[in-house]
Structure 1
């Protein structure tokens, strides 16, 4: 099932083997400008150094094998970020990022609120789980605002938050 959806300011489009060449190309071209050092500072090593089209193509191919990948577009069809979904049994582990110029505009809130609404229709998911670096206070505050609950101990500076889809947004 395709996980594409829209919010007031975003079109969220799942990228996979059935996606158009135009969408793949648009994402590949945008990746070096999105995955800047500031954006990927607290992300795993495989997010680092995506500074050319060739590196972006390789990274995208690897990501499409690892997870479900959703491209975030502005209403002007500009690529502004990504949403990652790793499914494990009945849980969806999620990650998200926005290009630096879109930070602080409420787009991550809008994205996650829209995704929670969509995920609630996916009967096979019970929980959304988000990992966030303990230094990423804006993301921590966002998850709390959306009723994600902090889980027990942190691992290597990472905090984990869960959203129970059976409860909905409070």
Structure 2
């Protein structure tokens, strides 16, 4: 029945949108969708090249707009801190480390992930492979039962791998 519901929703959206621009506008207006921003990643003396960026502050604002999620995060922080206080050998997060103890209690911790992928165009005479780097973030303070769900892993940027690693001098 759930599949039928999604098919109905998709059909309704396709019927009311005339083009991709209209579809994106509806997604933005009704679902808080943020489209990517194209950014220049080349210097003035290079061939123009771009990457794509999703504003992390807007994404965080949308995530933390849910009062239920915010309360679950605070409950999780409190629970971890009480367990760590009862056993000094435990460390659940950076909060429990020497540097973490210097942070205020009202900070949220963000984990960044880097993933390299290969894209292939199977059509045409040239079957090129494009290596891309993707950066994601996740709030460390989200309870474990939610942490690995795709809803809580958010993409920040994508750009060509060689641009990211060689031009930005990241090893």
Report the TM range for the smaller structure's normalisation.
under 0.3
| Larger radius of gyration between Structure 1 and Structure 2 | 2
Q: TM-score, normalised to structure 1's length?
A: 0.22
Q: TM-score, normalised to structure 2's length?
A: 0.22
